[in-house]
Amino acid sequence: MVEIRGITLPVVAIRIKGEKSLESVKRKIAEKIKGKLFEGSYFIIENPEDLPEGWVKDLEEFLKGLNLGNIKRISSRKRRQERTERLLVVDKSLRSGQKVEHGGDVLVLGDVNKDAEVVAVGNIIIMGTLRGIAIAGALGDESAVVVALRMEPQQIRIGKKVAIPDDTERVSPGYPEVAKVENGMIVLERV
């Protein structure tokens, strides 16, 4: 059985049970995710430890070929062992069209300009201006936060919640802010 379900936009969870043939799995996945609905989404294989040796790497390459990005789930035991790898530090500003994806927290030492995107399973911290898109808690974690010295985003997503400013560009009040989910909505607060 190959089960595909959306966790939160734009992440697709894939669970594979009782399959004997890797080619059969690939065929079933390709049938289920054809069309534009899943285009540009990210994927996670939910049960990699249950699959035969070599399948995970092969499936990851196959899914990347279908224009899906990979987010790897980190188990709590592995997370404790690899705390230093949980944080990705980006030591530059992101220009329009650039994208950073990480299975933990992301720290950007610069700006995230309009049409640039940061996707993190954990929190996002921007030591500059956020003018682009920030997706924190990409696997559905609504306790994640987005912090920026100047908050002027195109879009912020935290878990399943989405905040899109109106047509007028938001002007930062001049102090750092944190975006978080409170009472089912994304709110901005002074840090």
For residues 188 and 151, the answer to whether their CB atoms sit within 8 Å is yes
- Among 24-33, 89-98, 136-145, the minimum mean pLDDT is found in 24-33
Position 78 in a domain: no
Q: Note whether residue 80 is domain-resident.
A: no
What is the extent of the structural domain holding 133? 85-190
Domain co-membership, 98 together with 145:
yes
Same domain membership, residue 180 and residue 102: yes
As a whole number, mean pLDDT of residues 47-68 equals 84
- Over residues 114-159, the pLDDT tens digits come to 999 999 999 999 999 999 999 999 988 999 999 999 999 999 999 9
- Is 153 found in the same domain as 63? no
- C-alpha distances in angstroms, 39 versus 68, 70, 75, 173, 185? 7, 13, 27, 36, 27
79 domain residue, yes or no: no
Mean pLDDT over 13-39 rounds to: 83
